[in-house]
Amino acid sequence: MQLGLINTLTIDRFTPPGAFLEDEQGNEVLLPQKYLLDSYEVGQKVDVFVFKDSMQRIVCTTEEPFLLLGGFKYLRVTQVQPIGAFVDWGLDKNLLVPFSEQLYRLDEEEYYLFVLRYDVQTDRLFGSMRVKKSLLPCKEELEGEEVDLLICEENDLGVSVIVNNKYDGMLFDSNIIAHIEPGEERKGFVEKVRTDGKLDIRLEATNYVKYDLAEEKILGLLREKGELMLCDKSPPDLINAELGMSKRTFKQAIGKLYKHKRIKLNKDSIELLKK
Q: In the chain, pLDDT over 70 holds for what percent of residues?
A: 98
Q: What is the pLDDT of residue 144?
A: 81
Cβ neighbourhood burial of 269 (10 Å; 0-12, 13-18, 19+): middle
What are the pLDDT digits (tens) for 59-82? 999 999 999 999 999 999 999 998
pLDDT band at 210 (very low <50, low <70, confident <90, very high): low
Which span out of 129-133, 173-177, 211-215 was modeled with the highest average pLDDT? 129-133
pLDDT beyond 80 at 177: no
Which structural domains are found in the chain, ordered by start? 6-61 (2.40.50.140), 72-132 (2.40.50.140), 146-202 (2.40.50.140), 207-272 (1.10.10.10)
In the predicted model, what is the mean pLDDT of the chain? 91
pLDDT beyond 70 at 217: yes
For residues 189 and 147, is the Cβ–Cβ distance under 8 A? yes
What are the pLDDT digits (tens) for 118-148? 998 888 999 999 999 999 999 988 888 889 9
pLDDT band at 208 (very low <50, low <70, confident <90, very high): low
What are the pLDDT digits (tens) for 18-47? 999 999 999 999 999 999 999 999 999 999
What are the pLDDT digits (tens) for 85-121? 999 999 989 999 999 999 999 999 999 999 999 998 8
Which span out of 128-142, 193-207, 250-264 was modeled with the highest average pLDDT? 128-142
Which strands make up the sheet holding 227-228, listed edge to edge? 227-228, 270-272, 263-265
